Amino acid sequence: MYPCISTQIFGNVPIGAGLLDCVSGAGFSLVEIYGMPPHFDVEDAAAAESLASALKASGVKAASLHAPYLFKTAGGKKRTLSITSGDDEVFEAALRLCRAAAAAAAVVGAPLVVLHCGKYGDPMSGEIVSNLASFMATVSPHLPSGVNLALENVASPVSEPSFLSNLLSTAPPRVGICLDIAHANISGDPAKAVEAAGQRLIHIHASDNNGVRDDHLIPTDGDIEWKTVFSALKKSGYEGTFCFEPRKAVDPESAMKRCLGVFKMLNDDTI
């Protein structure tokens, strides 16, 4: 596995060379781009080109790009994006922004776009599943070359790794699962979620909580049994990115160094 840090750790500060220098200074060489404006606007082609240049200059590589999970309506109101929604405005915005995120990922060299698989609390219903299948059928054939899609579990029945693994068994090979360990901790047992994701597991989000809220704590600051999770990942044969996803930190560099220390400790303890 390879340690990675989400640029969400910088909050809403627009991403640029200074932040990437902070990333490399803390010891990370891989980032997940947090695709939420004003940090990074996936629909701004000039911003993508500028970020590609900044990444190259810093020596940091984009392992993934997290697609937006909010959008503004024509009236300026913020709404939650959902690829499972039956609301035409929401669904069309999800399609548009996923395509934009994939195009931006291609520009910055990120091989993966991470997308919330619906919204928190989505019920398991025929309509929800049909909307999800329709989204994948619409988006996956038009992904840029070299860019794959990872559906992230969001503590809902329809995004549970066990269900997604079965659903994706006949889906295009360019669609897989991003297992958010913190979300899995809210739903149940994160280590069992690793096993349930199976061979469709292509990305990991790592933050901590106490099983109630999505607190985005640094791993080991909540109640997740990280050694058990890490052992399950190694047993599964997963060799991808282990992306730390703490929220905005007062001292991002110190927080990133803590994350790397956690990764080393887990790796050493489960060899």
Report CA-CA distances (Å) from 80 to 8, 93, 115, 119. 18, 10, 12, 8
CATH number reported for the structural domain that contains residue 96 in this entry: 3.20.20.150
Q: Which helix (H) or strand (E) holds 178?
A: strand 175-180
d(CA 185, CA 206): 11
Model confidence over 189-236: pLDDT tens digits?
999 999 999 989 999 999 999 989 999 999 999 999 999 999 999 999
Contact 152, 205 (CB under 8 A): yes
Mean pLDDT of 241-264: 95
User: At 271, is the pLDDT very low, low, confident or very high (cuts 50, 70, 90)?
Assistant: low
Mean pLDDT, range 73-101, rounded to an integer: 91
Amino acid at 125: S
Q: Are strands 70-72 and 78-80 parallel, antiparallel or unpaired?
A: antiparallel
Tell me how far apart the terminal alpha carbons of the chain are, to the nearest angstrom: 12
Quote the CA–CA distance of 15 and 8 in Å, as a whole number. 10
- CA distances to 158, 159, 210, 261 from 153, rounded to whole Å, are 8, 5, 17, 26
Domain of 102 in residue numbering reads as: 2-269
Domain count, the chain: 1
> 70: which strand partners?
80
- Bridge-based pairing of strands 241-244 and 70-72 is unpaired
How do residues 161-184 score in pLDDT, each as one tens digit? 999 999 888 777 789 999 999 999
